[in-house]
Chains A and B, each alone.
Chain A
Amino acid sequence: MGAATPLYTFVLRLADDHLILGQRVSELCGHAPMLEEDMALPNIGLDLLGQARALYTYAAELQGEGKSEDDLAFCRLERDYVNALLVERPNLDFAHTIVRHLLHALFVQQLWQALQGSSDATLAAVAGKAAKETAYHVRHTSEWLIRLGDGTDESHERAQEALDILMPYAKELFEDDATTQALAAQGVAPLPSSLYEAWSQRLDEILSMATLSRPDLTLGLSGGRQGRHTEEMGHVLAELQFMQRAYPGLSW
Protein backbone atom coordinates (compact mmCIF):
# COMPACT_ATOMS: atom_id res chain seq x y z
CA MET A 1 0.00 0.00 0.00
CA GLY A 2 1.31 3.46 -0.92
CA ALA A 3 0.95 6.47 1.32
CA ALA A 4 -2.64 6.39 2.52
CA THR A 5 -4.57 9.61 2.02
CA PRO A 6 -6.50 11.04 4.98
CA LEU A 7 -9.77 10.26 3.20
CA TYR A 8 -8.84 6.60 2.65
CA THR A 9 -7.74 6.24 6.27
CA PHE A 10 -10.93 7.84 7.54
CA VAL A 11 -13.22 5.68 5.39
CA LEU A 12 -11.29 2.55 6.41
CA ARG A 13 -11.60 3.40 10.12
CA LEU A 14 -15.32 3.88 9.77
CA ALA A 15 -15.67 0.68 7.73
CA ASP A 16 -13.64 -1.34 10.27
CA ASP A 17 -15.71 0.02 13.17
CA HIS A 18 -18.89 -1.14 11.48
CA LEU A 19 -17.58 -4.51 10.33
CA ILE A 20 -16.16 -5.50 13.69
CA LEU A 21 -19.18 -4.29 15.64
CA GLY A 22 -21.44 -6.02 13.13
CA GLN A 23 -19.46 -9.23 13.62
CA ARG A 24 -19.76 -8.92 17.40
CA VAL A 25 -23.50 -8.36 17.23
CA SER A 26 -24.04 -11.21 14.79
CA GLU A 27 -22.27 -13.60 17.17
CA LEU A 28 -25.51 -13.45 19.14
CA CYS A 29 -27.60 -14.81 16.28
CA GLY A 30 -29.27 -17.85 17.82
CA HIS A 31 -27.99 -16.96 21.30
CA ALA A 32 -29.93 -13.85 22.29
CA PRO A 33 -31.84 -14.02 25.58
CA MET A 34 -35.24 -14.17 23.87
CA LEU A 35 -36.59 -14.87 20.42
CA GLU A 36 -37.58 -11.27 19.72
CA GLU A 37 -34.07 -10.07 20.55
CA ASP A 38 -32.69 -12.87 18.45
CA MET A 39 -34.31 -11.13 15.49
CA ALA A 40 -33.47 -7.60 16.61
CA LEU A 41 -29.71 -8.05 17.09
CA PRO A 42 -28.98 -9.75 13.74
CA ASN A 43 -31.14 -7.07 12.06
CA ILE A 44 -28.87 -4.47 13.61
CA GLY A 45 -25.79 -6.51 12.69
CA LEU A 46 -26.94 -6.61 9.07
CA ASP A 47 -27.41 -2.84 9.05
CA LEU A 48 -23.82 -2.49 10.23
CA LEU A 49 -22.49 -4.92 7.62
CA GLY A 50 -24.36 -3.02 4.92
CA GLN A 51 -22.79 0.22 6.06
CA ALA A 52 -19.36 -1.43 6.23
CA ARG A 53 -19.83 -2.78 2.74
CA ALA A 54 -20.58 0.61 1.22
CA LEU A 55 -17.56 2.06 3.02
CA TYR A 56 -15.17 -0.75 1.97
CA THR A 57 -16.27 -0.41 -1.63
CA TYR A 58 -15.46 3.29 -1.45
CA ALA A 59 -12.17 2.65 0.36
CA ALA A 60 -11.10 0.14 -2.31
CA GLU A 61 -11.93 2.70 -4.99
CA LEU A 62 -9.89 5.39 -3.19
CA GLN A 63 -7.01 2.98 -2.73
CA GLY A 64 -6.94 2.32 -6.46
CA GLU A 65 -5.14 -1.01 -6.31
CA GLY A 66 -7.94 -3.02 -7.86
CA LYS A 67 -8.93 -4.64 -4.57
CA SER A 68 -12.50 -5.59 -3.71
CA GLU A 69 -14.59 -4.87 -0.63
CA ASP A 70 -13.96 -8.49 0.40
CA ASP A 71 -10.18 -8.09 0.14
CA LEU A 72 -10.34 -5.19 2.55
CA ALA A 73 -12.86 -6.79 4.89
CA PHE A 74 -11.37 -10.28 5.10
CA CYS A 75 -7.79 -10.36 3.91
CA ARG A 76 -5.85 -7.94 6.08
CA LEU A 77 -3.67 -8.64 9.10
CA GLU A 78 -4.74 -7.63 12.58
CA ARG A 79 -2.44 -4.61 12.70
CA ASP A 80 -3.97 -3.29 9.49
CA TYR A 81 -7.43 -2.97 11.04
CA VAL A 82 -8.03 0.52 12.37
CA ASN A 83 -11.29 0.13 14.27
CA ALA A 84 -11.71 1.66 17.71
CA LEU A 85 -11.07 -0.76 20.58
CA LEU A 86 -14.64 -0.34 21.86
CA VAL A 87 -16.24 -2.29 19.02
CA GLU A 88 -14.04 -5.38 19.48
CA ARG A 89 -14.98 -5.83 23.15
CA PRO A 90 -16.67 -9.20 23.77
CA ASN A 91 -20.32 -10.01 24.52
CA LEU A 92 -19.65 -10.91 28.15
CA ASP A 93 -23.36 -10.64 28.88
CA PHE A 94 -26.40 -8.88 27.41
CA ALA A 95 -25.57 -5.67 29.29
CA HIS A 96 -22.13 -5.53 27.63
CA THR A 97 -23.72 -5.98 24.22
CA ILE A 98 -26.20 -3.18 24.83
CA VAL A 99 -23.80 -0.72 26.48
CA ARG A 100 -21.09 -1.22 23.86
CA HIS A 101 -23.61 -0.65 21.11
CA LEU A 102 -25.18 2.41 22.67
CA LEU A 103 -21.84 4.13 23.29
CA HIS A 104 -20.91 3.60 19.66
CA ALA A 105 -24.33 4.32 18.13
CA LEU A 106 -24.67 7.64 19.96
CA PHE A 107 -21.28 8.67 18.56
CA VAL A 108 -21.91 7.53 15.04
CA GLN A 109 -25.35 9.12 15.06
CA GLN A 110 -23.69 12.52 15.50
CA LEU A 111 -21.12 11.59 12.88
CA TRP A 112 -23.64 10.54 10.22
CA GLN A 113 -25.62 13.68 10.86
CA ALA A 114 -22.55 15.81 10.22
CA LEU A 115 -21.44 13.71 7.24
CA GLN A 116 -24.72 14.30 5.46
CA GLY A 117 -23.34 17.77 4.82
CA SER A 118 -19.92 16.49 3.78
CA SER A 119 -18.15 17.98 0.77
CA ASP A 120 -17.54 14.35 -0.26
CA ALA A 121 -20.63 13.20 -2.18
CA THR A 122 -20.11 9.45 -1.55
CA LEU A 123 -19.78 9.90 2.20
CA ALA A 124 -22.83 12.15 2.25
CA ALA A 125 -24.86 9.49 0.41
CA VAL A 126 -23.75 6.67 2.75
CA ALA A 127 -24.53 8.92 5.71
CA GLY A 128 -28.04 9.62 4.47
CA LYS A 129 -28.96 5.93 4.54
CA ALA A 130 -27.00 5.06 7.64
CA ALA A 131 -28.53 7.88 9.70
CA LYS A 132 -31.96 6.24 9.65
CA GLU A 133 -30.59 2.84 10.61
CA THR A 134 -28.48 4.31 13.37
CA ALA A 135 -31.43 6.23 14.81
CA TYR A 136 -33.11 2.87 15.36
CA HIS A 137 -29.97 1.37 16.92
CA VAL A 138 -29.89 4.23 19.40
CA ARG A 139 -33.55 3.78 20.18
CA HIS A 140 -33.29 0.02 20.64
CA THR A 141 -30.19 0.03 22.81
CA SER A 142 -31.16 3.06 24.89
CA GLU A 143 -34.60 1.62 25.66
CA TRP A 144 -32.94 -1.63 26.74
CA LEU A 145 -30.36 0.13 28.88
CA ILE A 146 -33.08 2.14 30.65
CA ARG A 147 -34.91 -1.09 31.46
CA LEU A 148 -31.78 -2.96 32.53
CA GLY A 149 -30.61 -0.10 34.74
CA ASP A 150 -34.03 0.60 36.20
CA GLY A 151 -34.99 -3.07 36.36
CA THR A 152 -34.06 -5.66 38.97
CA ASP A 153 -31.11 -5.47 41.37
CA GLU A 154 -29.21 -7.93 39.21
CA SER A 155 -29.87 -6.18 35.91
CA HIS A 156 -28.91 -2.84 37.46
CA GLU A 157 -25.68 -4.26 38.82
CA ARG A 158 -24.74 -5.88 35.53
CA ALA A 159 -25.59 -2.77 33.50
CA GLN A 160 -23.48 -0.61 35.81
CA GLU A 161 -20.60 -3.06 35.61
CA ALA A 162 -20.72 -3.14 31.81
CA LEU A 163 -20.76 0.65 31.76
CA ASP A 164 -17.80 0.88 34.15
CA ILE A 165 -15.79 -1.56 32.03
CA LEU A 166 -16.67 -0.16 28.59
CA MET A 167 -16.76 3.57 29.21
CA PRO A 168 -12.96 4.06 29.08
CA TYR A 169 -12.99 2.67 25.53
CA ALA A 170 -15.37 5.43 24.40
CA LYS A 171 -12.68 8.08 24.72
CA GLU A 172 -10.88 6.86 21.63
CA LEU A 173 -13.90 7.68 19.47
CA PHE A 174 -13.38 11.39 20.08
CA GLU A 175 -9.63 11.59 19.48
CA ASP A 176 -8.40 13.98 16.80
CA ASP A 177 -5.24 13.37 14.80
CA ALA A 178 -3.61 14.52 11.55
CA THR A 179 -6.13 12.50 9.51
CA THR A 180 -9.24 14.02 11.07
CA GLN A 181 -7.72 17.50 11.12
CA ALA A 182 -6.98 17.36 7.40
CA LEU A 183 -10.52 16.21 6.63
CA ALA A 184 -12.10 18.80 8.90
CA ALA A 185 -10.14 21.52 7.10
CA GLN A 186 -11.55 20.31 3.77
CA GLY A 187 -15.12 20.10 5.07
CA VAL A 188 -15.17 16.34 4.48
CA ALA A 189 -15.72 15.18 8.06
CA PRO A 190 -16.11 16.83 11.47
CA LEU A 191 -13.42 16.63 14.11
CA PRO A 192 -14.36 13.70 16.36
CA SER A 193 -13.79 15.90 19.41
CA SER A 194 -16.50 18.28 18.17
CA LEU A 195 -19.09 15.50 18.55
CA TYR A 196 -18.35 14.89 22.21
CA GLU A 197 -20.68 17.48 23.79
CA ALA A 198 -23.82 16.24 22.06
CA TRP A 199 -22.87 12.60 22.72
CA SER A 200 -22.22 13.32 26.35
CA GLN A 201 -25.47 15.18 26.86
CA ARG A 202 -27.60 12.47 25.27
CA LEU A 203 -25.78 9.76 27.22
CA ASP A 204 -26.42 11.60 30.50
CA GLU A 205 -30.15 11.79 29.73
CA ILE A 206 -30.29 8.05 29.08
CA LEU A 207 -28.18 7.13 32.12
CA SER A 208 -30.34 9.29 34.35
CA MET A 209 -33.48 7.47 33.19
CA ALA A 210 -31.61 4.19 33.66
CA THR A 211 -30.61 5.22 37.22
CA LEU A 212 -27.00 4.42 36.32
CA SER A 213 -24.02 6.51 37.37
CA ARG A 214 -21.65 7.72 34.72
CA PRO A 215 -18.05 6.53 35.05
CA ASP A 216 -15.13 8.88 34.53
CA LEU A 217 -13.91 9.24 30.96
CA THR A 218 -10.58 10.93 31.68
CA LEU A 219 -8.76 7.60 31.70
CA GLY A 220 -9.24 6.40 28.18
CA LEU A 221 -7.86 3.42 26.34
CA SER A 222 -6.85 3.81 22.73
CA GLY A 223 -4.57 2.43 20.03
CA GLY A 224 -7.09 0.84 17.70
CA ARG A 225 -6.81 3.66 15.16
CA GLN A 226 -3.10 2.81 14.91
CA GLY A 227 -3.75 -0.91 14.64
CA ARG A 228 -2.82 -1.73 18.23
CA HIS A 229 -5.65 -3.94 19.37
CA THR A 230 -6.71 -5.81 22.48
CA GLU A 231 -6.25 -9.54 22.83
CA GLU A 232 -9.87 -10.02 21.76
CA MET A 233 -9.26 -8.79 18.22
CA GLY A 234 -7.41 -11.91 17.10
CA HIS A 235 -10.35 -14.05 18.18
CA VAL A 236 -12.79 -11.85 16.29
CA LEU A 237 -10.70 -12.05 13.12
CA ALA A 238 -10.14 -15.81 13.40
CA GLU A 239 -13.87 -16.35 13.04
CA LEU A 240 -14.48 -13.47 10.65
CA GLN A 241 -11.70 -14.42 8.23
CA PHE A 242 -11.94 -18.19 8.41
CA MET A 243 -13.81 -18.76 5.14
CA GLN A 244 -11.61 -16.47 3.06
CA ARG A 245 -8.45 -17.93 4.61
CA ALA A 246 -9.56 -21.52 4.05
CA TYR A 247 -11.08 -20.95 0.61
CA PRO A 248 -9.42 -17.87 -0.91
CA GLY A 249 -11.67 -15.97 -3.29
CA LEU A 250 -14.78 -17.87 -2.21
CA SER A 251 -17.96 -16.02 -3.11
CA TRP A 252 -21.68 -16.67 -2.73
Chain B
Amino acid sequence: MTQHTPLWEVFIRPRNGLSHRHCGSVHAADASLALQAARDVYTRRGEGLSIWVIPSAQIVASDPQDKDELFAPAEDKVYRHPTFYEVPEEVGHM
Protein backbone atom coordinates (compact mmCIF):
# COMPACT_ATOMS: atom_id res chain seq x y z
CA MET B 1 0.00 0.00 0.00
CA THR B 2 2.78 2.45 0.83
CA GLN B 3 3.98 2.47 -2.76
CA HIS B 4 0.79 4.42 -3.58
CA THR B 5 0.97 6.49 -0.46
CA PRO B 6 4.15 8.52 -0.27
CA LEU B 7 5.48 10.01 2.94
CA TRP B 8 4.67 13.60 3.97
CA GLU B 9 6.34 15.65 6.68
CA VAL B 10 3.92 17.35 9.04
CA PHE B 11 4.37 20.79 10.58
CA ILE B 12 1.94 22.13 13.17
CA ARG B 13 1.58 25.65 14.46
CA PRO B 14 0.60 25.29 18.11
CA ARG B 15 -2.21 27.32 19.66
CA ASN B 16 0.05 29.63 21.57
CA GLY B 17 3.02 29.02 19.35
CA LEU B 18 4.94 31.12 16.93
CA SER B 19 6.02 29.16 13.91
CA HIS B 20 5.12 25.79 12.46
CA ARG B 21 7.15 22.99 14.01
CA HIS B 22 7.97 19.63 12.58
CA CYS B 23 6.06 16.99 14.53
CA GLY B 24 6.23 13.81 12.46
CA SER B 25 5.13 12.27 9.20
CA VAL B 26 2.17 10.53 7.60
CA HIS B 27 1.51 8.37 4.56
CA ALA B 28 -1.11 9.65 2.12
CA ALA B 29 -1.96 9.39 -1.56
CA ASP B 30 -2.07 13.13 -2.18
CA ALA B 31 -1.91 16.55 -0.58
CA SER B 32 -5.48 16.88 0.70
CA LEU B 33 -5.52 13.38 2.20
CA ALA B 34 -2.15 14.14 3.77
CA LEU B 35 -3.63 17.22 5.45
CA GLN B 36 -6.53 15.13 6.77
CA ALA B 37 -4.23 12.39 8.00
CA ALA B 38 -2.06 14.99 9.74
CA ARG B 39 -5.14 16.46 11.39
CA ASP B 40 -6.30 13.03 12.53
CA VAL B 41 -2.94 11.84 13.81
CA TYR B 42 -1.35 14.99 15.25
CA THR B 43 -4.12 17.37 16.40
CA ARG B 44 -6.34 15.06 18.44
CA ARG B 45 -5.62 16.87 21.69
CA GLY B 46 -6.12 20.38 20.47
CA GLU B 47 -2.46 20.87 19.60
CA GLY B 48 -2.76 23.00 16.54
CA LEU B 49 -4.26 25.93 14.70
CA SER B 50 -2.58 25.37 11.36
CA ILE B 51 -1.04 22.44 9.52
CA TRP B 52 1.55 22.26 6.76
CA VAL B 53 2.36 19.06 4.92
CA ILE B 54 5.30 18.72 2.59
CA PRO B 55 6.27 15.72 0.46
CA SER B 56 9.22 14.14 2.26
CA ALA B 57 10.89 13.55 -1.10
CA GLN B 58 11.01 17.32 -1.65
CA ILE B 59 13.18 17.91 1.39
CA VAL B 60 16.84 18.37 0.61
CA ALA B 61 18.95 17.21 3.52
CA SER B 62 22.58 17.68 4.38
CA ASP B 63 24.71 14.57 4.42
CA PRO B 64 25.52 13.43 8.00
CA GLN B 65 29.05 12.63 6.81
CA ASP B 66 29.56 16.32 6.06
CA LYS B 67 28.85 17.35 9.61
CA ASP B 68 32.46 18.12 10.47
CA GLU B 69 33.07 20.49 7.61
CA LEU B 70 29.63 22.07 7.95
CA PHE B 71 29.30 22.50 11.67
CA ALA B 72 32.60 22.01 13.48
CA PRO B 73 34.00 25.40 12.38
CA ALA B 74 31.31 27.17 14.41
CA GLU B 75 32.20 25.43 17.64
CA ASP B 76 35.10 27.67 18.71
CA LYS B 77 33.44 30.98 17.75
CA VAL B 78 31.68 31.78 20.98
CA TYR B 79 31.77 35.49 20.17
CA ARG B 80 28.91 34.88 17.73
CA HIS B 81 26.56 34.19 20.60
CA PRO B 82 24.89 37.38 21.80
CA THR B 83 25.25 36.22 25.38
CA PHE B 84 26.83 39.49 26.51
CA TYR B 85 23.63 41.43 25.89
CA GLU B 86 20.48 41.64 27.90
CA VAL B 87 17.41 41.46 25.74
CA PRO B 88 14.75 43.99 26.84
CA GLU B 89 11.48 42.36 27.69
CA GLU B 90 9.56 44.44 25.13
CA VAL B 91 11.43 42.67 22.36
CA GLY B 92 9.54 39.48 23.10
CA HIS B 93 10.57 36.26 21.35
CA MET B 94 13.69 36.36 19.23
Contacts and interface: CB of A to CB of B under 8 A. Distances in A.
Interface stretch (A29-37, A171-179, A219-227, A235-243): A29-37
Interface string A23-48: 00000000001111101100100000
B18 to A, nearest CB: 26
Interface stretch (B32-40, B54-62, B69-77, B83-91): B32-40
Interface string B1-37: 1000100000000000000000000111110110011
Dominant secondary structure at the B interface? mixed
Contact of A35 (B27, B30, B36): B27
A43 B40 CA distance: 7
Interface stretch (A6-14, A81-89, A139-147): A139-147
Contacts of B36: 40, 139-140, 143
A140 B40 CA distance: 10
Given A143-B32, A143-B33, A143-B36, A39 B5 contact: no
A82 to B, nearest CB: 31
Contact of A39 (B30, B32, B44): B44
B5 A40 contact: no
Give chain B's interface residue range (CB within 8 Å of chain A): 10 to 19
Interface in A43-93: 43
Nearest to B1: A34
A176 B26 CA distance: 44
Nearest to B30: A147
A147 B29 contact: yes
